[in-house]
Amino acid sequence: MTSFTEPASAERLERAAAALTAHNFAVEILDDVAAARARVKELVPEGASVFTGASETLRRSGIEEDIASSGRYDPVKGRTVAMDRATTARDIWAMISSPDVILGSVHAVTETGSLVAGSASGGQLPGYAGGAGHAIWIVGAQKVVPDLSTALRRLEEHCLPLENGRAMEVYGQPSALNRILILNAEPQPGRGTVLLLREAIGF
């Protein structure tokens, strides 16, 4: 039985990193959240428009707050909060779909080199798929799984119940797997950067 909470071994992290690299993702294996936080500051250019997808990893690491309040970037999420969703929904979607940089995480990384992300609204998925100039995913070691079937099982059996609990607390309603994105390779080499951590963080 695959554990969905235990950090993957160094060997498995290296195997996933090698497979992702072969699929044109830029991959770095970092020790911990602090290292990821520092690396994001190096990777994201000052003044860039940045959309932060809904992510416990970003929230718990402090990366989301760094983007929102540092003054170094143009945080897209902050601009959309004040917009009227009834009259400017398409404008909001355009803004969040094609920022200079999108930051987030995924729910699983396979040792065969795929990334899997689920979403109720789908807001982060266009940027992940190719709309953003640069996509950066910060991924805890517990999210590494052997293959795609296990990745989908992790998403449904492990991540969804946790996200349901968070959504009920924050929004008063459950979440749902309305959209699932599978990235098997990056057509533009290096556009997608995966920061694989040796420690667990996020769902």
pLDDT tens string for the chain (203 positions)? 678 999 999 999 999 999 999 999 999 999 999 999 999 999 999 999 999 988 999 999 999 999 999 999 999 998 888 888 888 999 999 999 999 999 999 999 999 999 999 999 999 999 999 999 999 999 999 999 999 999 999 999 999 999 999 889 888 888 999 999 999 999 999 899 999 999 999 99
Question: What CATH number is given to the structural domain containing 139?
Answer: 3.40.50.10420
**Nearest in space to 82 (alpha carbons), one of 72, 90, 92:** 92
For residue 184 the two structure tokens come to 């098997």
Q: Spell out the alpha helix ranges (H) of 55-156.
A: 56-61, 63-69, 76-81, 89-97, 125-126, 148-153
Q: Which helix (H) or strand (E) holds 115?
A: strand 115-119
Give the structural domain span for 32.
10-197
Residue 163 resides in a domain: yes
Residue 3 resides in a domain: no
Kindly report the length of the chain.
Answer: 203
Position 99, amino acid = P
- Chain-centroid distance of CA 189 in Å reads 18
Residue 25 resides in a domain: yes
- pLDDT computed for residue 1 by the predictor: 60
Encode pLDDT of 69-98 as tens digits.
Answer: 999 999 999 888 888 888 899 999 999 999
For residue 68 the two structure tokens come to 């929102």
- Chain-centroid distance of CA 14 in Å reads 19
Residue 4 resides in a domain: no
Residue 183 resides in a domain: yes
User: Residue 140 in contact with residue 59, Cβ under 8 Å?
Assistant: no
Tally of domains within the chain? 1
